[in-house]
Amino acid sequence: MRPTILGRVFLTISTTGTPERPATDLGFLLHKHPDRAQAFSTAHGTAHVFYPEASAERCTAALLLEVDPVALVRRGRGKGRGGAPDAALAQYVNDRPYAASSLLSVAMSTVFKSALRGVCAALPERAAAPLPLRIEVPAVAARGGVELVRRLFAPLGWTSVEAEPIPLDEQFPGWGDSRYVRLALEGELRLADALRQLYVLLPVMDDAKHYWVATDEVDKLLRAGEGWLADHPEQKLITSRYLSRRWGLTRQAMERLELVRLAETDDLAVEDVDNAVDETTDTEERPVPLAEQRREAILAALRQSGAQRVLDLGCGQGQLVQALLKDVTFTEIVGVDVSVRALTVAGRRLRLDRLGERQASRVSLMQGSLTYTDKRIAGYDAAVLSEVIEHLDLPRLPALEYAVFGAARPRTVLVTTPNVEYNVRWESLPAGHTRHGDHRFEWTRAEFRDWALAVAGRHGYTVGFTPVGPDDPEVGPPTQMAVFEKAGPDGPDDPRGTAEGAAPHTHPTPHTSEKEATAA
SS3 state of residue 91: helix
User: Which regions in the chain score pLDDT beneath 50?
Assistant: 1-7, 76-97, 265-285, 491-520
Give the sign of the dihedral formed by CA 53, CA 54, CA 59, CA 60.
positive
Q: What is the model's pLDDT at position 229? A: 92
Torsions phi, psi for 384 (to 5 deg): -120, 130
- How, if at all, do strands 382-386 and 412-418 pair? parallel
Strand order in the sheet with 363-367: 363-367, 332-337, 309-313, 382-386, 412-418, 479-486, 461-468
Tell me how many degrees the CA angle 78-84-85 measures, rounded to the nearest 5: 75
Dist CA 475 CA 491 (whole Å): 41
Q: Where are the beta strands (DSSP E) in 87-242?
A: 131-141, 160-167, 177-189
C-beta neighbour count of 96 within 10 angstroms: 21
Return all residues near 266 (Cβ < 8 A) that are at least 6 apart.
none
pLDDT recorded at residue 429:
65
Q: At what angle do helices 191-206 and 102-111 cross, to 10 degrees?
A: 160
For the chain, what's the residue count?
Answer: 520
Closest C-alpha to 32, from 65, 67, 70, 62: 62
Core vs surface per residue 50-79: b (16+ CB within 10 A) or e: bbeebeeebbbbbbbbbbbbbbbbeeeeee
Q: How far is CA 505 from CA 136, 361, 370, 380, 405, in A?
A: 64, 34, 16, 20, 11
Cβ neighbours of residue 433 closer than 8 Å, sequence gap 6 or more: 423
Query: Which one, of 333, 332, 340, lies nearest residue 367 by Cα?
Result: 340
Please count the other Cβ atoms lying within 10 Å of the Cβ belonging to residue 83: 8
> 80: phi > 0 → left, psi -120 to 50 → alpha, else beta; which?
beta
Do residues 168 and 176 lie in contact, with contact meaning Cβ atoms separated by under 8 Å? yes
Answer yes or no: pTM beyond 0.75: no
User: For residue 413, how far is the Cα from the chain centroid?
Assistant: 30
- Residue 262 DSSP SS3: helix
Q: Note the pLDDT of residue 253.
A: 87
Phi, psi dihedrals of residue 405, rounded to the nearest 5°? -85, -30
* Per-residue confidence (pLDDT) for residue 80, from 0 to 100: 37
The per-residue pLDDT for 244 is: 85
> Where do the DSSP E strands lie in 395-478?
412-418, 461-468
Q: Are strands 58-67 and 479-486 parallel, antiparallel or unpaired?
A: unpaired
CA–CA gap between residue 43 and residue 56 (Å, rounded): 35
pLDDT for position 305: 96
DSSP 403: I
pLDDT in tens, 232-253: 999 999 999 999 888 888 888 8
- C-alpha distance from residue 290 to each of 108, 235, 263, 293, 294 (Å): 37, 24, 25, 5, 6
pLDDT in tens, 388-405: 999 999 999 999 999 999
